[in-house]
A and B are shown apart, each in its own frame.
Chain A
Amino acid sequence: MNHGATADQVVPDAPVRAAPRPNLLDLRPAAWMLSPALLFMLAFFALPLSTLVWASFHIYEPGSTVPTGFSLKYYVAVLTDPHYLTIMGTSLRVAAYATLVCLVIGYPVAYLMAISGRTRPWLQMVLLVVVFTPLFVGVVVRAFAWTVLLRSDGIVNGLLLEAGLIDTPIRLLFTETGLVIALTHVFLPLMILPIASVIQKIDPNLDEAAQTLGAPPRTRVLRVLLPLSLPGISAGCAMVFCMSISAYVIPTLVAGGRLLVMPVVVAKNFMVTMDWSAGAAMAMVLVLLTSAVVAVNTFFFERRSRLMRAQA
């Protein structure tokens, strides 16, 4: 109690009010700028996605759009049935390999692109054009090109035979290897660009500081360059992985119907077997998987960059 003051004499301090809660209807003009995009996303992303969620929990008679009951059996099937597990395994493996190969091929290119900006701008320009141009060619065209290249009598086999690396043509089309090659080619820019942009922002004095402290090249790469380019590596890997595991056109063209990956199976469920619920359940697993990859990536590096900016 306040020193001897009776209750009715207590002069209230500045009235204690909860901080004003953000009012969702009190949108400032800046927020309105987003509304076309928000409306679009609502109509063409959130709405279809929620019907997908709905469908994945309900039983449909083939051909009917009216559910006959609630069920978790599709999720159980997708997550336990060996048939589905094999498909998920293939998907995960292919996406992981594509990501790894993109990283191994892409990192040196990204490094060169980033550092050439300082000393040889023309080289950076050339690299940018080389990396970017394929993005302007439709993915169908590029995937189709790979079906030609990877054929038994295609250019890849021809070159390998010519070089004496193989005796008989190897089968690349309709195999995981062929799919990884095509995915790597199509999504490589998504690995290179984020890494290059991160490396470009690393202070060149840091490498020089490490040199003056006696660090040989290998140590400088392992202890300075790589740790500082991790945000780019992680962003690139997340993007390539998510794009690879959800790719539909490329596996369809390169691997035909013979190599089953999740998007191909989802499409088959919806368009061929009319098993909507199973397709929806598998699509949801795919969505959750990619969301998890993005979320982990974001959380981990937000925390890390906050730490590097300042520590409490």
Chain B
Amino acid sequence: MGQLTVTDADKRYGSLHALDSVSLEVHEGEFVSLLGPSGCGKTTLLRSLAGLVRLDGGRVLLDGRDITRLPTHQRAIGFVFQNYALFPHMTVAENIAFGLRVRGQSGAEVERAVAQALDTVRLPQARDRMPAALSGGQQQRIALARALVTKPGLLLLDEPFSALDRQLREQMQLELRDLTRRLKITAIFVTHDQGEALIMSDRIAVMNSGRIDQIGAPGDIYERPRTKFVLDFVGLSNFMPGRLVGRTGDACEVDVGGRRYQATGAGDAMQGTVGYAVRPEKISLLPPEAPASHNQITGAIRDVAYLGDITHYHVDVGQDRPFLAHVVNRSGSFSPAVGSRVVLQWLPADAVVIPGAAQ
């Protein structure tokens, strides 16, 4: 249950190409996030899986069955809305029982399932209350219970935690993750919050202008972004436009304004103009007398932000933007003051090369 295949999904709203031939394969029990800025098509894709948006083209298969034209109420799915969408005129128990009653169940059977669903989301005491009497986090848990009680093959979640405060959001993220693992349920989770996507997902699909730019495990997305968009959208980076000048096996060399930097993992198809990027936490901060090596750049500290566990350094290296270096605070670690000259250094394997990105 819960094997999903989307092929060439296409949707236009007037001149806006909301979904541009999107294909996606989600395996049973997998947790996949659709990550992107507002207007990238992630919600349109999610709603099309629920049948709430009618696709202009393409196919949606759930467990091998073509559901592209199937009305929403005939699809075995669960959907969790950003604003919870609990029925305000029904009690919590009635809300949860709704999907079961619609399926013709009644009596003790429903009672048992509702009680179990309330236990699953740890809110048995909310049974007879009205949704309006619950807090946002509680309402979202009830919405989750309501979506899960019918045992759907596919759970769709549309930014379910974005209305919650940070602490509650983090708690709910872990709970949901735990729940989907325990129930072995396939989940597709829409979010614009990269941290949320990284924490929860088996795989992340980063969407941009109606397309999936890149899909992969959180580590892949963060460490090996394949486009400038993914690089910028997920995490911070020091980005330099350059030219690919040499390649030996997996290793390559990029020319950035006369300086040569090394990297690994540039795709075979890549050549000519490329972008060269290093994440701030990959950078080592060394005193000016450090021995010369590959992948170094010297500069002067412009700004220091102490965050407790780490320190953010902004280093002037004679480029448009300062270099960012995030350094873990340990006793005795090198901690230069504003104005000090420093050497920045990184490993070739920590650098990222992306194609064609002239800024």
Q: Are A308 and B89 in contact (CB under 8 A)?
A: yes
Residue of B whose beta carbon sits closest to that of A207: B85
Q: Are A212 and B132 in contact (CB under 8 A)?
A: no
Q: Are B81 and A213 in contact (CB under 8 A)?
A: no
A209 lies within 8 A of chain B by Cβ: yes
Q: Are A208 and B130 in contact (CB under 8 A)?
A: no
Residues of B near A214 (CB, < 8 A) are 73-74, 76, 99, 102-103, 150
Residues of A near B147 (CB, < 8 A) are 212-213
- Which residues of A in the span 198-248 have a Cβ within 8 Å of any Cβ on B? 203, 205-206, 208-216, 219, 223-224, 227-228
Interface range on chain A: under 10, 10 to 19, 20 to 34, or 35 or more? 20 to 34
CA distance A228 to B86 in the complex (A): 12
Interface size on B, residues (CB 8 A): 31
Q: Are B133 and A310 in contact (CB under 8 A)?
A: yes
Q: Are B89 and A211 in contact (CB under 8 A)?
A: no
CA distance A224 to B89 in the complex (A): 8
Known contacts A211-B72, A211-B73; is A308 also within 8 Å of B88 by CB?
yes
Known contacts A211-B52, A213-B146; is A205 also within 8 Å of B133 by CB?
no
B323 lies within 8 A of chain A by Cβ: no
Q: Are A311 and B133 in contact (CB under 8 A)?
A: yes
Q: Are B79 and A209 in contact (CB under 8 A)?
A: yes
Q: Are B102 and A213 in contact (CB under 8 A)?
A: yes
B21 lies within 8 A of chain A by Cβ: no
Q: Are B102 and A227 in contact (CB under 8 A)?
A: no
- Which residues of B in the span 24-43 have a Cβ within 8 Å of any Cβ on A? none
CA distance A46 to B74 in the complex (A): 60
Residues of B near A311 (CB, < 8 A) are 129-130, 132-133
Q: Are B83 and A203 in contact (CB under 8 A)?
A: yes
B87 lies within 8 A of chain A by Cβ: yes
CA distance A203 to B132 in the complex (A): 14
Q: Are A212 and B79 in contact (CB under 8 A)?
A: yes
Known contacts A310-B132, A310-B133; is A209 also within 8 Å of B89 by CB?
no
Q: Are B81 and A209 in contact (CB under 8 A)?
A: yes
B98 lies within 8 A of chain A by Cβ: yes
CA distance A205 to B86 in the complex (A): 9
- Which residues of B in the span 70-115 have a Cβ within 8 Å of any Cβ on A? 71-79, 81, 83, 85-89, 98-99, 102-103
Q: Are A215 and B73 in contact (CB under 8 A)?
A: yes
Instruction: Name the residue among A209, A227, A307, A311 with the largest chain B CB count within 10 angstroms.
Output: A209
B204 lies within 8 A of chain A by Cβ: no
B342 lies within 8 A of chain A by Cβ: no
Known contacts A208-B52, A209-B79, A213-B99; is A224 also within 8 Å of B87 by CB?
yes
A28 lies within 8 A of chain B by Cβ: no
Interchain nearest-CB distance for B222 vs A (Å):
32
Residue of B whose beta carbon sits closest to that of A230: B89
- Which residues of B in the span 124-150 have a Cβ within 8 Å of any Cβ on A? 129-130, 132-133, 146-147, 150
Residues of A near B85 (CB, < 8 A) are 203, 205-206, 208-209
Q: Are A212 and B78 in contact (CB under 8 A)?
A: yes
Residues of A near B132 (CB, < 8 A) are 308-311
CA distance A205 to B81 in the complex (A): 8
CA distance A32 to B98 in the complex (A): 51
Known: A203-B85, A212-B147. 12 other contacts (CB 8 A): A206-B85, A208-B52, A208-B79, A211-B71, A212-B75, A213-B99, A214-B73, A214-B76, A214-B99, A214-B103, A308-B89, A308-B132
| Interface of A toward B, CB cutoff 8 Å | 203, 205-206, 208-216, 219, 223-224, 227-228, 307-312
